[in-house]
Amino acid sequence: MNTKYKSVPVKSSEITPYSQYLSRREFLRAAGIVTGSALLAACAPAQRATGTTVPEGEAPVLPPGKMDERGDPANSFEDITNYNNYYEFSTDKEAVNPLSQDFTAAPWTIQVYGLVNNPTVFGIEDLLKEFPQEERIYRLRCVEAWSMVIPWTGFPLASLLKKVEPTSDAKFVRFETVFRPEEMPGQKSPFYPWPYQEGLRLDEAMHDLTILATGLYGQPMPNPNGAPIRLVVPWKYGFKSIKSIVKIELMAEQPSTLWSAVGPNEYGFYSNVNPDRPHPRWSQASERRIGELGRRATLMFNGYAEEVAALYEGMDLIENY
């Protein structure tokens, strides 16, 4: 199983230690060094990192040649951290980076509870220590028909779930983003049922492709991408990959999700990438890869059919969208 995609164990020496990352951020904040993306875009080369407060000369090392298993190059750190959907901060993709710079990503805990034998509150440091971090270079296909290739670091969600031991009644997993309207101005909007919630069937959650990502390009997770920890489910539309998770609940019934509550006809529970099922307002047959001219064909399950099609055997994937 899963021989096609890359899963590279990352030496801990290759990942900036979380404590060092935070102290660098704090140092920069104290020194009054601001890295607003507009400012940097105007005066820095395109590949300059603006997603985190990295000082001159310390931009993340971006090894050339990172690519997915199909041979498509990874998007730049710059692209990945400056074109974001994170409605808690803004509906404007380019405003998320500057608006999220002061978000407090530490201390952080995730409560795992519900239908489990060992309900546990994990500190982010415990997770980093306990579960070996791997690099996974995945395509991220947004429901809005754009995509990127992102070199995540993280660990399989299954490792965490095994640790808390789901009971035999557990059939679904619900995820919840932090609710902090004082830091996340978008959460004051009455148009969305905050906090952001998502869900997976237990077998989807246990699939080895499903990870909890704690970083990208070897850096701790940048704020605009869901610091300090977010879900990544690469064969589903990007909105299933919920950011800044504080709760994981094992349940018997299918949980409600923010997007299916807002638009049940448009955003289903499954939301598997499917070029044959148009969104009611646009085609899903093709997509725009950020950084490329033109469009490319969208692949069934975002190119991960070999790994995940068996999860949906016998299901009508047009009906169960």
When asked if residue 176 is in the footprint of ligand MTE (CB under 6 A), the reply is no
When asked if residue 88 is in the footprint of ligand MTE (CB under 6 A), the reply is yes
Furthest C-alpha separation in the chain: 59
When asked if residue 248 is in the footprint of ligand MTE (CB under 6 A), the reply is no
Cβ burial of 120 (10 Å; 0-12, 13-18, 19+) is middle
Q: Which of 155, 101, 100 is nearest to 128 (CA)?
A: 155
When asked if residue 242 is in the footprint of ligand MTE (CB under 6 A), the reply is yes
Selected from 5, 18, 77, 87, the binder of ligand MTE by CB under 6 A is 87
Contacts with ligand MTE: how many residues (CB under 6 A)?
A: 16
Q: Which of 222, 225, 220 is nearest to 86 (CA)?
A: 225
- Comparing CB distances to ligand MTE, the nearer of 146 and 171 is 146
When asked if residue 177 is in the footprint of ligand MTE (CB under 6 A), the reply is yes
When asked if residue 52 is in the footprint of ligand MTE (CB under 6 A), the reply is no
> Minimum distance between the CB of residue 156 and ligand MTE, rounded to whole angstroms?
19
Site residues for ligand MTE, 124-153, by CB under 6 A, read 140, 142
Tokens representing residue 101 in the block? 């710079």
Strands (E), the chain: 8-9, 109-114, 120-123, 134-141, 146-156, 172-177, 197-201, 211-216, 219-220, 230-232, 245-251, 286-289, 296-297
Selected from 5, 77, 86, 103, the binder of ligand MTE by CB under 6 A is 86
> Minimum distance between the CB of residue 281 and ligand MTE, rounded to whole angstroms?
15
DSSP 3-state of 116: strand
- Comparing CB distances to ligand MTE, the nearer of 115 and 270 is 270
> Minimum distance between the CB of residue 180 and ligand MTE, rounded to whole angstroms?
11
When asked if residue 84 is in the footprint of ligand MTE (CB under 6 A), the reply is yes
DSSP class of 272: B
When asked if residue 273 is in the footprint of ligand MTE (CB under 6 A), the reply is no
Residues 6+ apart with CB under 8 A from 35: 28, 50, 52, 53, 54, 101
- Comparing CB distances to ligand MTE, the nearer of 84 and 284 is 84
When asked if residue 239 is in the footprint of ligand MTE (CB under 6 A), the reply is yes
- CA-CA distance, 219 to 152, in Å (whole number)? 9
Summarize as ranges the residues that interact with ligand MTE (CB under 6 A): 84-88, 140, 142, 177, 196, 225, 238-239, 241-244
